[in-house]
Amino acid sequence: MRPALPVLALLAAGCGEDPSIWWLRGLGFGWTSANHRLAYLDAGVGEEGLDYAVIGGASSTGWAPDLPEGCDPDTCSEYKFEDSTRVDIAWGHLAASGMPAGTLEAEVLATPAGARQTLTIPLHRRGHDNAVVLLQGLTVDTDHPVPGGETCYDPALGWHPRHIAVALREPTLSGDGHSVLVDLSAIFEAGFSLEEVRACQDALIGEEQVPVTVRMLALAPPAGLTLTALDQAMSYPWSGNPYDPGEQPPPDLADRSIEVPWEPVIAGWSALDFTFMHEDEENRGAYLRTLSVGLDEAEGWASGHATNYSPGTQISAFDYRFQGEVWLLEAEGEVETGSVGFEEVPAELDADHRPVIFKEGWE
């Protein structure tokens, strides 16, 4: 299990030479074989390159800890299989720009009730008037104990999420113009599995505490900017037959259009908010087969999407609501954008049973 962490940990990069301005435009994963709980998710971009990892519990890594003495294996079962994902990451880069900028990494302990902190991000040079904060990267890690000591279920094996949210809101320039203040909030709420073999997990619902690490980019743009709020939803019925559960087609991106008023433009996320299974009256959590957020400035759309489609292992219908926020900034300088997909990324643990984070440098 990962060491206990403070509620908030910070790492900042501020005054000095012109920083390398990178931001996250999209992230997504899809399991190869089946749907899973969510135990670990990492995706990020920066000057050194990309990082990514996805873990879905024992049925993705093939490993589970021994049960503590007195725990019933019939109600604390784990199915040890190995699985892999396709991971997609989209990025943006602003080159040859003197725009005031700074970066910060912060960790908060997300709960169903949420956690919130006001952060200060130093800028490398003084800004004027405007302030924006965009996501550079995100890590969600369920390997954190619930209150009360040892339990029969190890949260490192993941939860069935009902609500995952991260937001960077109310960015404001400090009075002296040398930093940006922003409110960081995060929520993680799990739901019930409603499976007899996972009763020891369901007994802990409502007590989950999940460290969420957010890497962020602060900018003080001199030109135009606008904030676009998204509210999207999909609902998929279940046939009742786990081997033929019913298709879950993707949304029509024409229905998820956004107005892009400038070219070139910086387009990035400041809030990602997924709720799952709210049509389920028993407060079931979600097994996730896919999860993604993305945008395309040229085509003019932004979207968040998820599914639980998994013939052979699917046991319920599925629904989600995605509420996101996208900042659009009129760019001064050369904006580069791109995306990359990584096939069959293993859900791999190291010798200490911690997730292996894969890294890819820029060429």
Give me the residue label for tokens 């609501």.
321
Per-residue model confidence as pLDDT tens digits over 155-192: 999 999 999 999 999 999 999 999 999 999 999 999 99
Model confidence at 223: pLDDT above 50: yes
Q: Is the pLDDT of residue 14 over 90?
A: no
Average pLDDT over residues 212-232: 94
- For the cut 80, the answer to whether the pLDDT of residue 5 exceeds it is no
Position 128 scores a pLDDT of 86
Question: Between 5 and 296, where is the model more confident?
Answer: 296
Report residue 95's pLDDT band, with 50, 70 and 90 as the boundaries: confident
Residue 313: its pLDDT value, please? 95
What does each C-alpha distance from 276 to 164, 270, 296, 316 come to in angstroms?
9, 20, 25, 12
**What pLDDT does residue 337 have?**
96
What is the 8-class DSSP label of residue 165? E
Question: Residue 9 pLDDT more than 60?
Answer: no
pLDDT at 12 over 80: no
Angstrom distance (rounded) from CA 319 to CA 312: 19
What pLDDT band is residue 17 in, cutting at 50, 70 and 90?
low
The string of DSSP codes covering 53-67 is EEE-SHHHHS--PPP
**Could you tell me if 233 and 276 are in contact, meaning their C-beta atoms sit under 8 angstroms apart?**
no
Which residues make Cβ contacts (< 8 Å) with residue 238, sequence separation at least 6? Answer: 245, 246, 314, 315, 316, 317, 318
> Which is more confidently placed, 284 or 13?
284
Residue 58: phi and psi, rounded to 5, are -60, -30
**Residue 52: Cβ within 10 Å count:** 23
**Token pair 């949420």 is at which residue?**
114
Average pLDDT, the chain: 93
Task: Assign 224 a pLDDT band (cuts: 50, 70, 90).
Answer: confident
Give residue 98's pLDDT: 84
More confident residue, 223 or 39: 39
| H or E stretch at 90 | strand 84-95
pLDDT tens digits, one per residue of 309-335: 999 999 999 999 999 999 999 988 889
pLDDT for the residue numbered 20: 75
- The helix/strand/coil state of 168 is strand
